[in-house]
Amino acid sequence: MKKSLFYSLSAIFFLLPGVLLMLKSVTPVWKWGEAFSFTFTLRGWETFLMDDRIFHALFLSILIALAATFINLAIGMISGKALSHQNFKGKSLIETLLLLPLFLPVMAAALGLHITMIRLGLANTWFGVVLVHLVPTVPYTIKVMKAGYDRLGGGMLEQAQMLGAKPLYIFRTVELPLLMPSIRSAVFLTVTISMSQYVLTAVIGGGSVITLPIIYYPFLQSVDDTVMAAFSTAFALLPIIAVGAVEIVSKLIRANGLVLNRGVK
Amino acid sequence: MEVMKYMKKKLILFSSLVVLSGCAAGSSQPSSNEDVKDQSWDSIKEKAEGETVSLYMWGGDDGINQYIDDWVKPQLLDAYGVRLERIPLDTNEILQKLETEKRAGQDDGTIDMIWMNGENFKRAKESDLLFGPFVEQLPNYNAYYDADSLDFKYDFGTETEGYEAPWGKVQFVFHYDSAKISEPPATLEELQQWTEDNPGKFTYPAAGDFTGDAFLRHVLYGTTSAETLFTEPFSMELADKESAGVWSYLKDIEPNLWRKGDTYPSSLTELDRLYSQGEVWMTMGYNEARGEVLVKDGVFPESTKSFVLEEPGSIGNTHFLSIPYNSPNKEAALTAIDLLLSPEAQLAKLEPDYWGENTPIDVSKLEEEDRQAFEAVDRGDTVLDQESLMDAFVPEIDAEYVPWLQEKWIDEVASQ
């Protein structure tokens, strides 16, 4: 009973909008009160593919999101662990400070960072865009990883240490496998946030870095629902592709024995 | 061991990322402003050949994008050997980027041309972001454009002084469904009468939206008698004194608007959607030909037609192309702008297949053959004929009225 409720609710709230969106992207604009008719049209998708840079933009968006994710995980795990397992003076102050970028208006961050990026020679490069995408993502990753380490607790790591394991061995046999759920959430958050950045990408990338939002956002000002639905469908698929890529990589690493999975999924 | 190897790999990957991204930055040396200004057209052409220029412009219309990608790009390569890249970016972000580059002292930028007008031009010119004056170096500008025209000399009240070249011209029109309305209103009074007869079938985008602001300026035109409002620069006292009619007109029509004026569409997109769904019977926009493609794509009803208010008229403006101060290829940018201003390019832009937009060219200066070609273009059923548009034409007013009207609208209309 409970299970069927769960499935029907998820179908209504998650599956149905997606299906409707896809339907909308291949049918003409429907007017209220008009009889249902399914005239098939590829106009929306043709507009989507019209810009010959679209595949390059797709690729670049994924690359930037994955690079940002990688740096995020590195920063997030180190600071998450420190915040969770260590006690030091001013810890709660630092924790708050690390969250502050989320409350800063994006435009303010972008302008300040732009000058720095110009001086570093990173403005108008895709790596500069990766770095600037850390601003809205790192605070979340730190939060997520801290919660992960909180759940893990210190005991498990101390136990391994007492048995004589080296830190790296502990990392890949205990920490990584047990933190997988947190890593998954962090990856999904980071990828989704990174892929929907328009202002930050526009200012730091300066038009030399053309990601999907740069092509896609101006079309949001259109009344043509068919075109919008096509763009939105493509846009919704992206994080799924990127998260899939991360899953495959983690499978490969496990298969190579770099991370030992002791009965934990 | 394996782990160490793995970590090393990571490190190598990371450092190669840094190196790679460094290589992607631009490398060509910009010419200084003085160099370019003194050159003859022939030497400009020579220097331009083989270069690539970037045109930064708003990218939300596939007709416009196609015009650049499918028509302009091959023509420019053919005529001058210059490659064109179209970069879709909002004008606000473009200027933001330039302002920061200026502050950071970066003299080799990435932008060669910007499409802009009005407030944006004012902002760019006041912060010295533009290269110029350059328009008089363009052969096509000198041959086919009326350099004395007030439309080109002033851009929303800001003197252009040769810092931008006129690229296109649009006029404000209303679109209506001719299946529901047989005789569209011709004056503001008739519009008011019409809303009383058809309550809930008209509304306009809220102030702050580009089109909503333009509608307010029409009302300002129609309700003020003082000529000085449009000929003199903006003054708060004068505006306050003369604008009472605007707010009383807007308050008078409010109860008969869509949802009794409790709420306004926040953007033109929303108003267009209401119109396409038949909730309201009129929409409007700052481009006399924009209905054509929306009807063709089945968004607007087939019976869509357009009209202008004969009284107070229809505000029109010109939009321009300019070159930033740190453009890396100023010579190539000049050739590209010259091509975009040529009669052939303007004719292709006027045809409804791509963009369908009006031309700022002086048709009387054209060769007989070209002139006929311009006059023969069928812009489509939703577009008014040139004569009605010209008769109703009134110029834009000082750009400083825009923020003032927005603020006042919120006090006087929205929060009442």
**Terminal Cα-to-Cα distance of chain A (whole angstroms):** 27
Mean of pLDDT over chain B: 88
Assess if residue B298 is contained within a domain.
yes
Task: Compare all CA atoms of chain A with the CA of B279 and give the residue at the minimum distance.
Answer: A32
Share of chain A above pLDDT 90, in %: 42
Closest partner CB to A258 (pick from B3, B24, B298): B3
Give the closest-approach CA distance of B232 to chain A in angstroms. Answer: 34
Which pair of structure tokens corresponds to residue A122?
């990173």
Mind giving me the DSSP string for B215-252?
HHHHHHHHH---THHHHSPP-HHHHHHHTHHHHHHHHH
For strand B165-171 and strand B314-322, is the pairing parallel, antiparallel, or unpaired?
Answer: antiparallel
Mind giving me the DSSP string for B314-361?
EEEEEEEEE-BTT-TTHHHHHHHHHHHHSHHHHHHHHSTTTT--B--S
Task: Compare all CA atoms of chain A with the CA of B4 and give the residue at the minimum distance.
Answer: A168
**The residue to which tokens 């396409």 are assigned:** B276
Assess if residue B26 is contained within a domain.
no
Q: Kindly state whether residues B245 and B139 are assigned to the same domain.
A: no
Q: Kindly state whether residues B104 and B176 are assigned to the same domain.
A: no
Q: Buried b / exposed e across B368-377, counting CB within 10 Å, b at 16+?
A: eebeebbeee
Digit-coded pLDDT (tens) for A144-199: 999 999 999 889 899 999 999 999 999 888 898 899 889 999 999 999 999 989 98
Domain ranges for chain A, please list them: 39-83+95-255
pLDDT at residue number A82: 93
**Terminal Cα-to-Cα distance of chain B (whole angstroms):** 74
Interface test with B, best of A224, A231, A254 (most B CBs within 10 A): A224
Q: Kindly state whether residues B176 and B306 are assigned to the same domain.
A: yes
Closest partner CB to A50 (pick from B18, B66, B272): B66
B-chain residues within 8 Å CB-CB of A105?
Answer: none
Structural domains in chain B (count): 2
Q: Buried b / exposed e across A116-136, counting CB within 10 Å, b at 16+?
A: ebbeeebbbbbbbbbbbbbbb
ipTM score assigned to the predicted complex: 0.79
Q: Kindly state whether residues B239 and B141 are assigned to the same domain.
A: no
**The residue to which tokens 């003197």 are assigned:** B159
B-chain residues within 8 Å CB-CB of A67?
Answer: 17
Q: Kindly state whether residues B282 and B397 are assigned to the same domain.
A: yes
Q: What is the CA radius of gyration of chain A?
A: 22
Cα torsion A23, A28, A34, A37: sign? negative
Domain containing residue B228: 171-316+393-414
Q: Kindly state whether residues B163 and B190 are assigned to the same domain.
A: no
Q: Kindly state whether residues B124 and B185 are assigned to the same domain.
A: no
Digit-coded pLDDT (tens) for A73-119: 999 999 999 999 989 899 999 999 998 888 888 888 888 899 999 99
Whether residue B392 contacts residue B310, with contact meaning beta carbons closer than 8 Å, is answered with yes
Q: Kindly state whether residues B359 and B248 are assigned to the same domain.
A: no
- The correct answer on CATH 3.90.1660.10 for the domain covering A39-83+95-255 is no
Residue A120's H or E segment, with its range, is helix A106-120
Tell me the residue type at A253. I
Distance CA B225, CA B128 (A): 36
Residue A35, classified by CB atoms within 10 Å of its CB into exposed (0-12), middle (13-18) or buried (19+), is: exposed
Give the C-alpha distances (Å, rounded to integers) separating B193 from A49, B1, B184, B279, B339.
47, 85, 11, 19, 48
For strand B83-88 and strand B52-57, is the pairing parallel, antiparallel, or unpaired?
Answer: parallel
- Show pLDDT as tens, one digit a residue, over chain B (416 residues): 444 444 444 444 444 444 444 444 333 444 556 678 888 999 999 999 999 999 999 888 888 999 999 999 999 999 999 999 999 988 988 999 999 999 999 888 999 999 998 889 999 999 999 998 999 999 999 999 999 888 899 888 889 999 999 999 999 999 999 999 999 999 999 999 999 999 999 999 999 888 999 999 999 988 887 677 767 778 888 888 888 899 999 999 999 999 999 999 998 989 999 999 899 999 999 999 989 988 988 889 999 999 999 988 999 989 999 999 999 999 999 999 999 999 999 999 999 888 889 999 998 999 999 999 998 998 988 999 888 998 999 888 888 888 899 999 999 998 87
Q: Kindly state whether residues B80 and B206 are assigned to the same domain.
A: no
Q: Kindly state whether residues B62 and B193 are assigned to the same domain.
A: no
Write down the pTM of the prediction. Answer: 0.83
CATH number at residue B132: 3.40.190.10
- Other CB atoms within 10 Å distance of the CB of residue B350: 20
Mind giving me the DSSP string for A164-204?
T--HHHHIIIIIHHHHHHHHHHHHHHHHHHHHT-SHHHHHH
B-chain residues within 8 Å CB-CB of A111?
Answer: 96, 100
